[in-house]
Structure 1
């Protein structure tokens, strides 16, 4: 089943919130999924995998910290959503140096934020991992290699040449199981119905004489 980009973004946003991210970060997650889907990648599957791993974890343990020039986390792995926001906020640094990250979960989720950095810098940004290399000027994505769940080493740098322009997808075709995962997390944001809310539902207060 296909979904509109708006549906994918909205569901991703609610799912991220349901998994424990604040609404600001949830907004970022939704935009990131939309961008990946627009590039023809299954952003839904990437986020679903992240949320299943982050669920029940303490976000502080997976927040980026800088040490010896390398971005890492105190916990076992670095959250790509938190690292991605940091990357786009630190885009200016790419003019003078590379940014290296260690043990990044679902590193493909960094790509939308690399794209945002590229737009700020008005130049191409390259993201390299042991399994794939991605180049983006903010609008176009050139991706070679395969998606991995964890990258021991991620290098982000300015420069590179993107491939030819291709049409952006207008709908997404996510993995059904991944969509179900997002839907499950999104349901956590829905307040359970109370007796009072049910009484105020459709038809409430309407008598048979009206």
Structure 2
């Protein structure tokens, strides 16, 4: 199955909101998932993997407690908290690498690293448990297989384009991952009321005879 990038983004946004994240985080997540799909990576699968973990039920435990040294939370860091912080704190990279400990679904950090690279106007290297990825505003160097969790993520300045990802114009989600996103998305839909059912039925109680 394949979908337009707009449909992928819209479904990802509703799914993230349905999983308990704020609309702001849902917006960030949907754009991140779309960008991963453009890079030929499994944006739907990566996002559905995060949503299934239920980290939004206790957001404070999954965000960095400080950003002036090692980033870590009470529990595994959520990339929808740590990622936007990375974008906002891109200037900290001018004084040295940013290190994070225990990150859930670290592939979702890549789109936010791209934002930081755009702010700094240079490429960034992201090491996920010693596996290197390089990202800039316009390209990504990454393997197809991405870890589901990481003990350590290190973001630093610099990096050269080697084998770049081929850009895609559509999303190709696994059916099971697409079903997962839609299951979460359905939580955002208002339940049907008697009035809405009557309106949807056409004539309702009116009689024009």
| TM-score bucket (shorter structure) | over 0.9
Matched, 1:26 2:26: yes
Question: Secondary structure of the equivalent of 2:190?
Answer: coil
Shift of 1:32: 0.2
Which string of whole-angstrom CA distances, capped at 9 and with x for unpartnered residues, describes residues 29-74 of structure 1?
Answer: 0000000000000011011010000267311111122277110111
Shift of 1:164: 5.5
Is the contact between residue 131 and residue 146 of structure 1 (CA under 8 Å) also seen in structure 2?
no
2:91 matches 1:95: no
Match of 1:38 in 2: 38
Alignment length, in residue pairs? 208
2:173 partner SS: coil
- CA distance 1:55–1:63, change in 2 (3 Å): closer
Give the structure 1 partner of residue 156 of structure 2.
157
Q: Cα RMSD between the aligned structures?
A: 1.8
Report the secondary structure of 1:127's partner residue.
strand
1:54-108 per-residue CA deviation (whole Å, 9 max, x = no partner) reads 2673111111222771101112x11011110100011111122110000000000
Report the secondary structure of 1:160's partner residue: coil
Structure 2: distance between partners of 1:184 and 1:6: 18
TM-score by length of 1: 0.92
Displacement of 1:133: 1.6
Q: Using the TM superposition, name which of 45-54 and 59-68 deviates more.
A: 59-68
Change (3 A) 1:157 1:174: same
Change in Cα spacing, 1:56 to 1:165, as seen in structure 2 (3 Å) is: closer
Paired residue for 2:122?
123
Deviates further, 90-99 or 149-158: 90-99
Specify whether residues 193 and 66 from structure 1 end up closer, same or farther in structure 2 by C-alpha distance, changes over 3 A only.
Answer: same
CA–CA separation in structure 2 for the residues paired with 1:104 and 1:126: 16
Runs of 4+ in 1 over 3 A off after TM superposition: 164-167, 204-209
- Match in the other structure for 1:185: 184
Return the TM-score normalized by structure 2: 0.93
> Per the alignment, do residues 189 and 55 of structure 1 end up closer, same or farther by CA in structure 2, a change over 3 Å counting?
farther
Structure 2 residue ranges without an equivalent (≥5): none
Distance in 2, matches of 1:69 and 1:20, equals 29
